[in-house]
Amino acid sequence: MVVDEPTADRPHPTGSARRRPRCAGCGRPVPACWCRFVSQVRTRHRIVVLRHPREARHAFGTVPVLVRTIPDTEVYDGVRRTPEATQAIFGEPDRPPLLLYPGPDAGGSGVTDGAGTGETARTLVVIDGTWGQARGMVNADPELSALPRLSLVPTSSSRYAIRAQPFPHGLSTVEAVAEALVLLGDEPVVRDALLRPLAALVGMHLACADAAGGDVLDDPVALERAGYLPPLPAAPASPATPAPPASPAPPV
Ligand SMILES: [Zn+2]
């Protein structure tokens, strides 16, 4: 008789499997936490993410890395644009929207509306999903597809796409945003801060795959020595504390 043994990777149908506690900051199981690799940075650009619902449930979605590193990032889940997302995209004339998505003309990296990439603060509209999901969301939304676009030709970060299983379709969302922000005039330190937790996330995934198990995460020193983990940031990682509530509007 074969007994269905509960394991950490294959939860028992009755729910009696050992449940690993999860980090409140990154949502990953505690041994796979990447929070210590986070160093927060600021950008003058507004980042609005339209996330496909399936991507929101993906264990290796990279939007949490983006949100932890740039806390002002706004994320709206849904296949269709919500009124709140519309307000975020079009509600700030001083930072006109720019869709991070390939333009009709394949070519180098750049902005299709001809604006200087380093001169104007923008609202960067990011679609988070597989290429198929993103294409569907853009094609079904005339206002979205009519926006000026920022196209990317990846430079350094494609190494993750080649090595890591989580991103078979090319750049992950956080990699694309990192490249876009530098193209829009941000300092390279912004890109580095975004890519460091991603490198840790991917490195831990690869280490588990190579070792055929998660116990390898119990020895982070050995993981760093073996090249799976990036160096820690110079500044201490920020604590995973929630943002304070917004101040009430003054009476009129
Ligand atoms: Zn964490």
Domain assignment of residue 248, yes or no: no
Instruction: Using the mean position of ligand 1's atoms as its centre, give its distance from the Cα of residue 24 in Å.
Output: 6
Cβ(208)–Cβ(216) below 8 Å: yes
- Tell me the CA–centroid distance for residue 198 and ligand 1, in Å: 12
**C-alpha closest to that of 125 among 186, 49, 70, 184:** 49
For residue 239, being part of any structural domain is answered with no
With a cut of 50, say whether residue 169 has pLDDT above it.
Answer: no
Give distance in angstroms: CA of 199 to centre of ligand 1. 14
How far, in Å, is the centroid of ligand 1 from the Cα of 223? 17
* Gap from CA of 30 to ligand 1 centroid (Å): 7
- Whether 127 maps to a domain, the answer reads yes
The Å distance, Cα 11 to ligand 1 centre, comes to 22
Tell me the per-residue pLDDT of 204-230, one tens digit each, with 9 for 90 and over. Answer: 888 988 888 888 998 888 998 998 999
Distances (CA, A) of 76 to 111, 124, 173, 231: 24, 13, 14, 32
Same domain as 17, residue 118: no
Q: Looking at the domain assignment, is residue 195 inside a domain? A: yes
If asked whether residues 85 and 128 sit together in one domain, one would say yes
Residue 204 lies in a domain: yes
Q: How many domains does the chain have?
A: 2
Q: Residue 103: helix, strand or coil by DSSP?
A: coil
pLDDT at 165: 41
* Domain range for 213: 40-225
Rounded to whole angstroms, the Cα distance separating 65 from 69 reads: 6
**What is the Cα–Cα distance from 19 to 85, expressed in whole angstroms?**
35
3 shares its domain with 116: no
Q: Do 10 and 114 sit in the same domain of this protein?
A: no
Query: Do 54 and 13 belong together in one domain?
Result: no
**Is 237 domain-assigned?**
no
For residue 106, the model assigns a pLDDT of 54
pLDDT band at 168 (very low <50, low <70, confident <90, very high): very low
Please tell me whether residues 110 and 10 are part of one structural domain.
Answer: no
154 & 188 share domain:
yes
* Shared-domain flag, residues 106 and 18: no
- In the reported structure, the alpha carbon of residue 9 is separated from the centroid of ligand 1 by a whole-number distance in angstroms of 19
Q: Domain check: are 75 and 135 in the same one? A: yes
Instruction: Determine the straight-line distance between the first and last CA of the chain, rounded to whole angstroms.
Output: 75
67 found inside a domain: yes
As a whole-number percent, the residues of the chain with pLDDT over 90 amount to: 44
* Pair (207, 136) in one structural domain: yes
* Residue 24: half-sphere exposure toward Cβ, Cα within 13 Å: 5
Please check whether residues 19 and 128 belong to one and the same domain: no
Q: How far is the CA of 71 from the centre of ligand 1 (A)?
A: 15
Residue 31 CA, ligand 1 centroid: distance in Å: 9
Confidence check: pLDDT of 100 > 50: yes
Q: How confident is the model at residue 170 (pLDDT cuts 50, 70, 90)?
A: low
Which has more confidence, 75 or 111?
75
Residues 4, 53, single domain; the answer is no
CA angle 234, 235, 236 (to 5 degrees): 120
Q: What is the mean pLDDT of the chain?
A: 80
Residues 186, 164 contacting (CB under 8 angstroms)? no
- Residue 235 Cα to ligand 1 midpoint, Å, equals 16
- Residue 44 pLDDT more than 80? yes
- Find the 29 Cα to ligand 1 centroid distance in Å: 8
CA of 67 to the centre of ligand 1 (A): 13
Residue 192: CB atoms within 10 Å: 16
What are the residues facing 49 on neighbouring strands?
75, 126
Which residue, 106, 117, 114, is CA-closest to 44? 117
> Rounded to whole angstroms, what are the CA distances from 156 to 21, 37, 171, 192?
34, 19, 10, 11
pLDDT value of residue 51? 95
pLDDT at position 161 is: 47
